[in-house]
Amino acid sequence: MLRLFDTASGEVRPLRQRRAGQVSMYVCGPTVYGPPHLGHGRFSLVFDVLRRYLVWCGNDVVYVSNITDVDDKIIDRAAREGSTPEAVARHWEQVWWEAMDRISVQRPTDDPHATAYIDDMVRLVGDLIDRGAAYLLDDGVYFDTSSVGDYGLLARQDLDSLRAGARVDVDDAKRSPTDFALWKFAKPGEPAWDSPWGPGRPGWHTECVVMSLDLLGPGFDLHGGGQDLAFPHHENERAQAVAAEKAFAGHWMHNGFVEVAGEKMSKSLGNFTDLGDLCDRYDPRAYRLLVLRSHYRSPMEVSDTSAGDASRALERLDAFARRVAEVVDDATVADAPALAAFRDLMDDDLDTPGVMDLVFTSVRQVNALLDEGDRSAAGPLAAAVLEICSAVGLELHAVSDGDVPDELVALARQRDEARAARDFALADALRDQIQDAGWIVEDTPSGTGIRRP
Ligand SMILES: [Zn+2]
Closest CA to 178 of 205, 141, 203, 145: 145
Q: Residue 449: pLDDT band by 50, 70, 90 thresholds? A: confident
Distance CA(136)–CA(134), nearest Å, equals 7
**Are 449 and 328 within 8 A, CB to CB?**
no
The alpha carbon of 308 and the centre of ligand 1 are apart by a number of angstroms equal to: 33
Distance CA(279)–CA(105), nearest Å, equals 13
The alpha carbon of 234 and the centre of ligand 1 are apart by a number of angstroms equal to: 6
- Looking at residue 313, its amino acid is A
Distance CA(442)–CA(400), nearest Å, equals 13
The alpha carbon of 207 and the centre of ligand 1 are apart by a number of angstroms equal to: 7
The alpha carbon of 351 and the centre of ligand 1 are apart by a number of angstroms equal to: 25
Given this model, what pLDDT does residue 267 score? 45
The alpha carbon of 71 and the centre of ligand 1 are apart by a number of angstroms equal to: 13
Given this model, what pLDDT does residue 271 score? 53
Please write the tens of the pLDDT for every residue from 320-378.
999 999 899 989 999 999 999 999 999 999 999 999 999 999 999 999 999 999 999 99
Distance CA(279)–CA(300), nearest Å, equals 17
The alpha carbon of 212 and the centre of ligand 1 are apart by a number of angstroms equal to: 9
Question: Per-residue pLDDT for 383 more than 50?
Answer: yes
**Are 365 and 381 within 8 A, CB to CB?**
yes
- Output the CATH code of domain 16-255: 3.40.50.620
**Are 118 and 182 within 8 A, CB to CB?**
no
Q: In terms of DSSP H, where are the helices of 299-423?
A: 304-324, 336-347, 352-371, 375-391, 406-420
- Looking at residue 357, its amino acid is D
The alpha carbon of 362 and the centre of ligand 1 are apart by a number of angstroms equal to: 39
Strand locations in 28-178, DSSP E? 60-65, 134-137, 140-143
pTM of the model: 0.88
* R_g (Cα) of the chain, nearest Å: 24
Q: DSSP character for 398?
A: -
Please write the tens of the pLDDT for every residue from 389-426.
999 999 998 875 556 787 888 898 899 888 888 888 99
The alpha carbon of 134 and the centre of ligand 1 are apart by a number of angstroms equal to: 19
Q: How far is CA 311 from CA 315, 316, 319, in A?
A: 6, 9, 13
Closest CA to 338 of 393, 396, 385, 389: 385
Distance CA(256)–CA(254), nearest Å, equals 7
Position with higher pLDDT, 99 vs 281: 99
The alpha carbon of 285 and the centre of ligand 1 are apart by a number of angstroms equal to: 27
The alpha carbon of 37 and the centre of ligand 1 are apart by a number of angstroms equal to: 18
Please write the tens of the pLDDT for every residue from 167-225.
777 667 899 999 999 999 999 989 999 999 999 999 999 999 999 999 999 999 999 99
The alpha carbon of 29 and the centre of ligand 1 are apart by a number of angstroms equal to: 7
The alpha carbon of 221 and the centre of ligand 1 are apart by a number of angstroms equal to: 15
The alpha carbon of 69 and the centre of ligand 1 are apart by a number of angstroms equal to: 12
The alpha carbon of 247 and the centre of ligand 1 are apart by a number of angstroms equal to: 16
The alpha carbon of 103 and the centre of ligand 1 are apart by a number of angstroms equal to: 22
Position with higher pLDDT, 434 vs 446: 434
Distance CA(234)–CA(324), nearest Å, equals 46
Grouping H, G, I as helix, E, B as strand and the rest as coil, residue 212 is: helix
Q: What are phi and psi of 208, to 5 degrees?
A: -70, -30
Q: What are phi and psi of 441, to 5 degrees?
A: -105, 130
Given this model, what pLDDT does residue 37 score? 93
**Residue 230: which H helix or E strand, with range?**
none
The alpha carbon of 233 and the centre of ligand 1 are apart by a number of angstroms equal to: 6
The alpha carbon of 23 and the centre of ligand 1 are apart by a number of angstroms equal to: 18
Please write the tens of the pLDDT for every residue from 232-272.
999 999 999 999 999 999 999 999 999 887 655 544 445 56
Tell me the domain boundaries of the chain. 16-255, 258-391, 406-451
The alpha carbon of 94 and the centre of ligand 1 are apart by a number of angstroms equal to: 20
Given this model, what pLDDT does residue 422 score? 84
Q: What are phi and psi of 236, to 5 degrees?
A: -75, -35
- Output the CATH code of domain 258-391: 1.20.120.640
Q: DSSP character for 222?
A: E
**Are 250 and 6 within 8 A, CB to CB?**
no
For 4, counting Cβ atoms within 10 Å of its Cβ (0-12 exposed, 13-18 middle, 19+ buried), the class is buried
The alpha carbon of 219 and the centre of ligand 1 are apart by a number of angstroms equal to: 16
The alpha carbon of 148 and the centre of ligand 1 are apart by a number of angstroms equal to: 19
The alpha carbon of 40 and the centre of ligand 1 are apart by a number of angstroms equal to: 13
Please write the tens of the pLDDT for every residue from 63-122.
999 999 999 999 999 999 999 999 999 999 999 999 999 999 999 999 999 999 999 999
Question: Per-residue pLDDT for 442 more than 90?
Answer: no
The alpha carbon of 319 and the centre of ligand 1 are apart by a number of angstroms equal to: 41
The alpha carbon of 374 and the centre of ligand 1 are apart by a number of angstroms equal to: 52
**Are 247 and 18 within 8 A, CB to CB?**
no
